[in-house]
Amino acid sequence: MKTLFTSIIVLFLSIAMNAQETFTLKVTVNNAKDDQGKMVYSLSTQNQFMKAAPLKSASIEIKDGVAVATFENVPVGDYAVMVLHDKNGNNQMDFSEQGMPTEAYGMSNNPMSYGPPTWDDAKITVDSDKEITVRL
């Protein structure tokens, strides 16, 4: 009987220790030039970053230049957040004939660059509930 009781306790402890802890990531954009369209957010792992469908995404209404997305149940790990002010509602970034973006966008860590951001520039670590602000 004692062995059975000990085995059950060990089993429950193993399950509890292997349960993956998740957190909430709140992403705010507060510098949209207008409220036209929506703010489109994507949360990506390194393997998905700028080349595959994101782990999570959200499309949020803009009010007074502010839009806030909340990603729930985010496992511990490294991620990048990309935000696009999709003014025309086509769910993609639009480009000029010269190849420059015509809609405002931003990344986690707010990297300043003249080309596409790198993973290392945009990477954030989620290991607790977190709030970040992305500048367009």
**Digit-coded pLDDT (tens) for 39-94:** 999 999 999 999 999 999 999 999 999 999 999 999 999 999 999 999 999 999 99
Q: What residue numbers bound the domain in which 113 lies?
A: 22-133
Q: Is the Cα dihedral 92, 57, 121, 106 positive or negative?
A: positive
Structural domain contains residue 93: yes
Number of folded domains that form the chain:
1
Q: What is the CATH number of the domain that holds 110?
A: 2.60.40
Structural domain contains residue 65: yes
Contact 42, 57 (CB under 8 A): yes
> For residue 4, what pLDDT is reported?
45
pTM: 0.84
Closest CA to 45 of 105, 109, 122: 122
Where helices occur in 1-136 by DSSP H, the ranges are 2-18, 119-122
**Digit-coded pLDDT (tens) for 26-39:** 999 999 999 999 99
Structural domain contains residue 103: yes
Closest CA to 105 of 88, 79, 83: 83
Structural domain contains residue 47: yes
Residue 108 scores a pLDDT above 80? yes
Structural domain contains residue 16: no
Structural domain contains residue 107: yes
Structural domain contains residue 15: no
CA-to-CA dists, residue 64 to 29, 34, 90, 105, angstroms: 11, 7, 21, 17
Structural domain contains residue 5: no
> For residue 114, what pLDDT is reported?
80
